[in-house]
Structures are given as structure tokens and as C-alpha cells.
Amino acid sequence: MTWLDQLEQELDQRLSSFLRSNPVQVRLFEEQHLRDRVHALQRQRQQLTEEASEQRRQLLALAADVKAWTDRTNRARAAGASELARRADQHRAELMNQGHELWNDLASLGRRFDEVDAQLFELKQQNSNRSNLDQDWALFEAEQELEDLRRQAGLS
């Protein structure tokens, strides 16, 4: 075991000891960890929203290009320029393939967005449940103390 491993082990032991003797610090640590996780997920959600917005913009532009090349293909066919029509149609097909790929990417972003939303919901529920538990516990302790005071007053 290297001195760095020993140092790390010693620090872990001291931290564990400190946290065992200071449960309030454990709670503060957990709350901060939860806030950090929520913040990270919110940033990820914002990034996914921006990516989806950009992909939607690209899809709309691509759709306009497909329409334009469809019109060009039809004009070339109507004019009897079959080779030009074939090449234009081939280009339109390539654009449509790009559109399908973008659409699949956008669907994937939607699934990732849903996953992040589910994680955020779960974390907020955990925080709410913990907060409710803390409030319920504080109320229970207050009621216990009040009952003790009543008993003491009745015995005196």
C-alpha cells in the first residue's frame, strides 16, 4: 500500500467518523448532493432542448429543400430532360435520407429528454418525501416534548 493509499484510507476513516458523530452534516451533505444532481440534470435538459430546437430547424430547412428538388424534378421531366430529372430525383432521395436520419436523431433526443425528466421527477419526489419526513419528525418530537411537559406538570 502506497503512502497515497494510506492517506486516502485515513481521510476516509476520519470523514466517516466525523459524519457518524455529526448527523446534521450528513443531511447537509445529502441535500447538497441532491441539489447538485438536480442542477446537473436541469443543465442537461436545457442542452437537449437546444439540440432539439436546432434539429427541428434543420429538418424544416431540409423539408424546404426536398420540396424545391421535387419541383425541379417535375419541371425537368415535363421539359423532357430525363437525365436531369433522374439526377435531381437522386439528389432529392439523398436529402430525404438525411431527413430520416435527422428525424431518428430527434426521436432519440426526445427519449433522452424523457429520461432526464423522469430522473428530475424522481429526485424532486425524494426531496419532497425527505422534507415531509423531516417535518413529520419535527412535529412528532414537538408532540413528545409537549406530552412530557404535561406529564411533568401533572406529577408536580
Domain boundaries, the chain: 44-143
Give CB contacts under 8 A, 24+ apart, made by 121-125.
123/34, 123/37, 123/38, 123/41, 124/38
Q: Among residues of the chain, what percentage have pLDDT more than 70?
A: 95
pLDDT at 23: 77
State the Rg of the chain over Cα.
32
pLDDT at 44: 94
Dihedral angle sign, alpha carbons of residues 79, 80, 83, 89:
positive
Distance CA 15, CA 23 (A): 12
The whole-number average pLDDT for the span 12-25 is: 84
Q: How confident is the model at residue 33 (pLDDT cuts 50, 70, 90)?
A: confident
- 55-112 pLDDT per residue, tens: 999 999 999 999 999 999 999 999 999 999 999 999 999 999 999 999 999 999 999 9
pLDDT of 25 above 60: yes
Distance CA 71, CA 85 (A): 10
The set of residues, in sequence order, having a beta carbon less than 8 Å from that of 95 and lying 6+ positions away, is 62, 65, 66, 69
| Total-model pTM | 0.64
All three cell numbers of 20: 457518524
Secondary structure (DSSP) of 117-155: HHHHHHHHHHHHHHHHHHHHHHHHHHHHHHHHHHHHHHH
pLDDT of 129 above 80: no
pLDDT at 123: 85
Distance CA 53, CA 49 (A): 6
| Stronger pLDDT, 46 or 142, i.e. the higher one | 46
